[in-house]
Structure 1
Amino acid sequence: MLLLRNLICLAACGSLAAARQPAHRPVIDLGYEIYQAVEEGNLTKNFYTFSNIRYAAPPVGDLRWREAVAPHENRAAIQSNPDVITCPQGTPTWQIRTSSQISGYLDTGIVPNVSFANLTSLVQTGQEDCLFLDVLVPKKVFDHVKNGSKVPVLVWIHGGGFTTGSKTDFGSPRTLLNRAEEYDEPVIYVALNYRLGAFGFLSGPSFESEGGLLNTGLLDQRKALQWIQDNIHRFGGDKGQVTVFGESAGAGSILHHITAGGGSIEPLFNRAILQSPGYYPYRSTQEKENAFNLFLGHANVISIADARTLSSEALMTANAESIGESLPYASPIYGPTPDGDLVIHDPKVHLARGEFAHSLEIITTYNSDEGLVNVPTIHTDTEYHSFLEAILTNANASTIAYIADTLYPPTFDGSQGYTNQFQRIAKTFGDLAIDCNSVAAGLAFGSRARGYYFSTYPGIHVQDISYTFYNPESKGSYSLVDTGTVNVTVAHVLQDYITGFARRGEMKSEGDGLERDTPPYSSRGTMVRLDSEGIELIRDPGLSERCQWWASGVYNGLSA
């Protein structure tokens, strides 16, 4: 008991923990719980890692499908858990089958025949008690908290299509943070988990009528961001300099926070880096109801009340099965959905209307071929129309016809950006789900935006994550597609952009070879092209009538 009291005293005294404990594992007192930096052997000399800090109570039992609540007080033991913790996962089997064939397609140009029959679930690891975050803080920052200086905070919100991923899935951030250290501009890094799939994004009229809360995954993110506002000063962080960054669904989530409440809800951060900001078109009422019933069917219950009484194992299996066995873009499609409060319209619509957090600064980005690994392989015009009908469930027949005949006509001479049906569907999905989100953000923020376009071959979705978290000892790509060796120059430039933006609001690197600082995106759409063949300033390739039309929201049932 005496030892515990001494540790609590050290933690309460802030930097005295490090001063009186020459060992490399300091303790910090958060009030509700006490945490000690985890043991990492010789992995790092510059950082303390506080792993699996609880930012909300376990969302289990009656707390399922409700807003996360504050953690319970638990001061009986000091927490120091280095284990990997993920929220329950679900992977679309059809997408795995397609992605596994893309390397062959890139080599030969022959569109593969991929069967989507007999799809099965892939049950992955995870646990419902998953609302944790990690904090990596430079030792020289944490050891001198008492001097009152504060450093910027970089917050990672992971992607994974709102059904997979975790705070640690994409590797260690140490090489990224070391780039900031080299310029003597340290930053603190935070990464967070949030509920996924049916646990975080279940919806439908029956779900709501039974007391289910929409967008609990997004609300989890806000809970974590509020935790940062309340606690990051204890680590030496400046709550007034918080930069969020994320890729795919992570960046898509950030866009929803930027436009939350039509711009009326504070985003809880100051800067944002949107890497391939992705989210799915909102589903029709019937599709959401179908997804709800499908999940309940897999769980073998008839109501949310019944589901709240089930074991975690039963619900995790139902979640994985509902996702894994679905045909391409058939129910369920889990992700943000309008709730009349946090989410009102598609962020592109809010951005075009000027309804967003204007005080922010952003970097907006996307890759040169975002759609290729996100769509089923198709060969015919009929299959193309079927895809549109499956993914745009709020669009009427005339809207579908306009997309197929005018926006993305069946012209395969390269003038439209594609030479076959597979490229056509990839271009369509890339624009509607990712590229045009990035364009809309750049145009909305104008002089307060910077941008980069990642075109290092093959430029597919998530390829740039190997650059964001570049580590010479890593094994490379985070996808099933062979994207080649990471170009170290491009990786270092990208890391400089990220850490420099968090520190100074600048997208700048000595390694990019540009003769002047990166200009704002503004109305001209100025971006930096990051390519292994060279780095240069370009005009955003996505500035087009196509993106202007997607920003109208017509495909989601809004009037033109």
Structure 2
Amino acid sequence: MFLNVLIFCASFIPVLFAAPVTHSKAGVFHGRHLPEFDQDLYLGIKYAPKPVRFSPATLVGDAPTTDFNASSYGLDCTGYGSDTNTLVTGGWTKMGEDCLHLNIVKPKTNETGLPILLWIYGGGWQQGATSDPRYNLSYIVQQSAEMNKHMIGISINYRMAAFGFINGAAVKASGTQNLGLRDQRLALQWVNRHISSFGGDPSKVTIWGESAGAYSVGDHLNAYHGDSQGLFRAAILESGNSVGAPLNATYWYQPMYDNLTASVGCSHAANTLQCLRDVPYEKIAPYGNQGLEWFHVLDGDIITQPGQTALRNGNFAKVPVIIGTNTDEGFGVNGVNTNAQALEQLTHSKRWNLTHAQAERILELYPDDPTLGAPYGWGNRTWPQNGLQYKRYTGIATDLTMYAPRRLMAEEFSRFAGLVYSYRWDAPKFNNTPSNIGVNHFSEIPFVFGNTEQQITPLGNSTENLRLSRLVMRMWVSFAHGLDPNGHAVSDTVVWPKYKDSVSNFVFRADRSYIEADTDRMEGVAYINTLVR
């Protein structure tokens, strides 16, 4: 039995804190008390046993009399690497396939029926972990306690790269696509079944993610023709949406599958997929990424139609949402110098896959004028080392990837559901440098998690940064608690209107946040939103 843990306070005087214990149908969980936040943590709770590789996981069975140590994180699911020597040097000792677990952060309170804010990490569906200290939920849960709007924070692990999103003809035939999304759905089912034992309300779950995590949230909004199955009542999407990456890219995935089979000696097997299942983990793990990207696909089950189609037809869960992007999201598009290269990128990039006519139209709508391109707000300044048409193509990439789908989702959710709040994040990373300029992808993460640890996600000692962090955390808490981000009790803050009442964005800035009309790049964005990808 795990009766207590020894904690040392700042003065190095040993103090005994009673370890929290929760009895549930899933088991008896012995957690860990965090005195500096006055929170109880339950870490590394398995929601599924170790799955058969490249197969759907199953919900863990009930074990109401079994004791579980829930005082530390479990294995991470990042089961691949670019350096195979990490397997030899022990760099993967905390990674593996038995990694489907979740973590619960609960404020110390006698209240029950607490709302849930459930985090799904990003990382391109290729990397990420709940144990990443940048995703420490203690700070935002602490804000909920200070606001007297107590909530529970949950983070979930899921399989990634080939282990979570493998695809190809053999995978399609076996019906085992989108395994990472299925993992996430299974975690939501565990929460729905068991969170009341921890003082939570299963009917008050807000799913929340950034980047691939936000795209995952979008997939759950569209899943099963919009049937939430009672697993969530609201959603927050940071730098991601319900449109996402290309869904039909057979030309993309089959070569990756073939490369994977060749890398581990399965190319000539009678059943290549079974061969991949039988290969020792240490042999296959280094090749899980294949140097490319495994994404979600149309599988006829979870995802039955492209995101644009689901939005236009109203085939999504009609729940309140917060959705937004950062000002300059067009990452990874360096090296474009000429119109010909821009056309080549747009028509041959696996990320865009546009026709020649579509690409030409986009170049007409986004002229090679540095004053119009991204990073925005820099006038004529250019970064030729990144490409002579860097600002033009970054602007195009920002809108194709994030900005246009965000507007489409805000419009269609407003039309069918009504309760939508849209934002633009315009506060740069604290460590902004000339080589990493602009309000780019991931810029908001240090703020929304409020982590003040200088070596992790430094907000610095800036009063403005800390005030903005407090504001956004409290808005997220207010939304999770009462479906309205305005109940944050932060003075001198403008009211955030619903998108259907005011077609606008809340602009988060460190100096002073404000409301702007959502009218930037109207013609280009409207055209992009006609392209079903």
Question: TM-score, normalised to structure 1's length?
Answer: 0.79
Flag structure 2 segments of 5+ consecutive residues without an equivalent.
4-15, 376-381, 383-387, 429-437
CA distance in structure 2 between the partners assigned to 1:86 and 1:391 by the alignment:
28
CA contact (8 A) 1:159 1:248 kept: yes
Pick from 154, 158, 170: which aligns with 1:194? 158
Name which of 380, 397, 418 aligns with 1:429: 397
Contact 1:513 1:535 in 2 (8 A): no
Pairwise mapping of residues 382-531 of structure 1 onto structure 2 (< 5 A)? 382-388=340-346, 389-392=348-351, 394-403=353-362, 405-409=363-367, 411-415=368-372, 420-446=388-414, 447-457=418-428, 458-475=438-455, 477=457, 487-508=465-486, 509-511=488-490, 513-515=492-494, 517-522=495-500, 524-531=502-509
The aligned runs of 1:105-116 (5 Å cut-off) are: none
Q: 2:42 is matched with which residue: 37, 47, 50?
A: 50
Q: In the TM superposition, what is the alpha-carbon distance from 1:402 to its structure 2 partner?
A: 2.7
User: How does 1:126-525 map onto structure 2 within 5 Å?
Assistant: 126-141=95-110, 149-169=112-132, 170-209=134-173, 211=174, 213-264=176-227, 266=229, 268-277=231-240, 279-302=244-267, 303-320=272-289, 322-323=290-291, 332-358=292-318, 360-372=319-331, 374-388=332-346, 389-392=348-351, 394-403=353-362, 405-409=363-367, 411-415=368-372, 420-446=388-414, 447-457=418-428, 458-475=438-455, 477=457, 487-508=465-486, 509-511=488-490, 513-515=492-494, 517-522=495-500, 524-525=502-503
Do 2:172 and 2:299's aligned partners in 1 also have CA atoms closer than 8 Å?
no
CA distance in 2, matches of 1:27, 1:58: 25
The C-alpha deviation readout for 1:401-446, integer Å capped at 9, x for no partner, is 333x33334x224245576511222222221222222212211222
Q: CA deviation at 1:39?
A: 5.9
Question: In structure 2, how many angstroms separate the alpha carbons of the residues matched to 1:121 and 1:438?
Answer: 41
Deviates more, 1:236-245 or 1:394-403: 394-403
Aligned residue-pair number: 482
Aligned-partner SS, 1:412: coil
SS at match of 2:153: strand
Distance of 1:251 and 1:282 partners within structure 2 = 16
CA deviations 1:172-203 (Å, max 9, x no partner) are 21111111111111101110001100011111
CA distance in 1, matches of 2:109, 2:158: 30
Indicate the residue corresponding to 1:547 in structure 2.
525
Q: 1:543 to 1:269 in 2, by over 3 A?
A: farther
Separation in 2, partners of 1:192, 1:538: 34
- Give the TM-score of the pair, scaled to structure 2: 0.83
Which residues of structure 1 form unaligned runs of 5+? 8-21, 94-118, 324-331
Amino acid at match of 1:47: Q
For the residue of structure 2 that corresponds to 1:364, the secondary structure is: strand
Task: Considering Cα pairs closer than 8 Å and 6+ residues apart, tell me whether 1 or 2 has the greater RCO.
Answer: 1
Measure, in 2, the Cα distance between the counterparts of 1:541 and 1:84: 46
Taking every aligned residue pair, what percent have the same amino acid on both sides?
A: 24
Secondary structure of residue in 1 paired with 2:97: coil
Q: Distance in 2 between matches of 1:284 and 1:29?
A: 46
What pairs up with 1:21-40 in 2 under 5 angstroms?
23-38=17-32
- Moved runs in structure 1, 4+ residues, more than 6 A? 119-124
Pairwise CA RMSD of aligned residues? 2.9
Q: For residues 325 and 351 of structure 2, what CA distance do their matches in structure 1 show?
A: 22
* Equivalent in the alignment of 1:17: none
